[in-house]
Structure 1
């Protein structure tokens, strides 16, 4: 691949010749429009026009995936041809500008009249281009070092109830979770700076507990405070977390936006825990939106340290294969000159019983295994919930079943009996 181009792959549905539509896409997202215009010289096109690299036609469909008034006005009918299309875009068209990169490889493409479905499936960036953007401050290894977990899967949980707890109640819950042995705790995405527990009160209260626990045990739990807000407020909140000796902040990526996350990254040394809530609206339809690979690539350019990938056998709609692929690309390097991996965060309905599927699919313990109910609702209490997760991971290391391993492990057995019954 050229070091001067970004390569994008799309899934496209159209009633027209796919090769013709590919050229329309390339022109629309570079130097062209629906017709050649004054000033669009051959020299300019040679320098700035996107290039169609490949068109691979797939099986057609009898019914269009999405409505299209432009086609209806012209009386255009199917069959609806589908294709995989590769287009390369000159880096010089957007430079080290994340917002414009995103507008180039997606942007108005979703609105083209010629298509009844379009999805950005992958994005390949030159290593030299990636290095013009932000890098994670902690990433995988830095997160391990911060919490003192040199090996094994990192175990985390979420503050529950999601909202409603006061700052002091939150601190009391954090104390319980620290004593239970978790590595990581995070706010829920719907709890940022509520009136009943403003960050100005919650951060000092929680960090007092975490500092005391660290002084007593030598283990400093990482707490991801949800600071999602406007950029000025996020910077203030991050400064408060740093002043209180915190190590991590969380943001709802889709609603804060690329520019805010980039700017936050540049002004704080804290780990940025990237929560992808809302990603389903962008990805759930197979012929609309964006796949996880290009999605995470652009957020990694913004400098996040952790990325949510959902969980295996969890409560959300994604098939396990998508979760596995998401973890793999998160742990892949985007540059050949630096370790810029981000930590994949498994969450959504996770408990000891979902550990085997996670281990067999991912074959790595470089992950953050987040369990809410699996810890907080354990019948023997939160500490037993954490122990049951660590026992489940130990069973994988020994290559034995959970049922076998649990014979002398009451915490794991209780989890299997309690949560397993609700899964059947």
Structure 2
């Protein structure tokens, strides 16, 4: 067998130690050829190249006198897989995901398998080139008032956020209502942005929520691109990873994709079930071709464990055939968190704030300015409380939210 062409999946599970070998063999066989010992010898020889094999069985710790926590690694021949992420996930974790306390904690994908995918069209470098911002973290604001608004009201909110100097403004992921159609919003916001660019020399880019029936998404994306869409926000786990892959691999769609993690918690949040966040939001988003990965930071209102966040970020940036993705740690971000975010993620990160911009006492424009003042302070080695002495927007942001500590 050509082991370098095997996909290796690692699982954390709880079981009796004496059951581990049989459990591992059941996974290896059950997710590939279905059965083995009951097959005639001639059939065994014919299906041998398709059979999964045990790579490793390792006991991690003892829970009680009857159970242990263990890790099992299984090799899956690449011959079993097509270039659909659905085939990969169904093979390595399909029915197994329903078999008690078991969690997919890692995937090793051979280069021959990764070569079937394109990865990000833009990634970190392409996104920076589009924005002409090369030497600092990017700043993104979120529409927090969208449903039930008129076009003029939405344009007002766009303008208010833009006046804070943010690089990106994205729709809220819940914005599916089309009383103000997305192509109308794209056109109007582009006009507002160009008007601001004439005044200040800077224009924020708008990430429109790409929604609609699945089989219409490509055409919708192309129409939005024609009227000037800068980026697409996409609810990848609601629509499906292969849907994102189909969109990003279309050569006629030349717009970066921002993957939103809505529903992802149903997959990664349990300690004993589901798929680890660095696999789900890291490895799989890279296969699907996302350019930006939104995920909970370790510091905000919805948190990802710091160790898992670090591993996820490592996966987003790992060398290989795909362009690195831009991480956007999110949920409850405000100006007082900027030092933590830069220390944790470096310069290649999006500071993504919703309430931390809109909730500023002086409004959204001041909220954006406070983020930049915090960034300038961090990059200059100045403590935030010192910088706040000469920057009223930062001062008032710290008075409201404080400075976050680990």
TM-score (norm 2): 0.91
Q: Which residue of 2 aligns with 1:354?
A: 337
Measure how far apart 1:8 and its partner are: 1.1
- Listed as ranges, the matches of 1:11-410 within 5 Å are 11-15=12-16, 17-33=19-35, 36-37=38-39, 41-62=43-64, 79-112=66-99, 116-192=100-176, 194-267=177-250, 268-295=253-280, 296-333=282-319, 335=320, 338-362=321-345, 364-410=346-392
Whether contact under 8 Å (2:336, 2:404) holds in the other structure is no
Are 2:367 and 2:393, in contact at CA under 8 Å, matched by a contact in 1? Answer: yes
Conserved 8 A contact 2:6-2:110: yes
| Mapped partners of 2:306, 2:222: distance in 1 | 38
Gaps in structure 2 of 5+ consecutive residues: none
Say whether the 8 Å CA contact 2:278–2:309 is kept in structure 1.
no
Name the CA distance, whole Å, in 2 between partners of 1:252 and 1:397: 33
Q: Is the 8 A contact 1:228 1:256 kept in 2?
A: no
Contact map agreement 1:24 1:34 (CA 8 A) in 2: no
1:39 Cα offset (Å):
7.8
2:396 to 378, 395, 414: 414
Q: Is the CA contact (8 Å cut-off) linking 1:10 and 1:121 kept in structure 2?
A: yes
Write out per-residue CA displacement over residues 78-100 of structure 1, whole angstroms, 9 at most, x where no aligned residue.
82322111111111110322210
Unaligned runs of 5+ in 1: 63-77
Q: Provide the rounded CA distance (Å) in 1 between the counterparts of 2:173 and 2:186.
A: 16
Q: Does the 8 A contact of 2:297 with 2:303 survive in 1?
A: no
Over 3 Å counting, the alpha-carbon distance change for 1:214 and 1:138 in structure 2 is farther
CA deviation map 1:90-139 (0-9, x unaligned):
11110322210111111011123xxx311111111122321211221211
TM-score (norm 1): 0.88
- Asked if 1 retains the 8 angstrom alpha-carbon contact of 2:336 and 2:403, the reply is no
Q: CA RMSD in A?
A: 2.3
Show the counterpart of 2:9.
Answer: 8
SS in structure 1 of the partner of residue 249 of structure 2: helix
Once the two structures are TM-superposed, the CA of residue 216 in structure 1 deviates from its matched residue by 4.8
The structural deviation recorded for 1:164 is 2.4
Which stretch shows the higher mean deviation, 127-136 or 211-220?
211-220
Contact 2:118 2:322 in 1 (8 A): no
Asked whether the equivalents of residues 203 and 240 of structure 1 are also in contact (C-alpha less than 8 Å), the reply is no
Q: Could you say what secondary structure the match of 1:21 adopts? A: helix
CA displacement 1:194-242 (0-9 Å, x = unmatched): 1432224322222222333345544332211111332233223212221
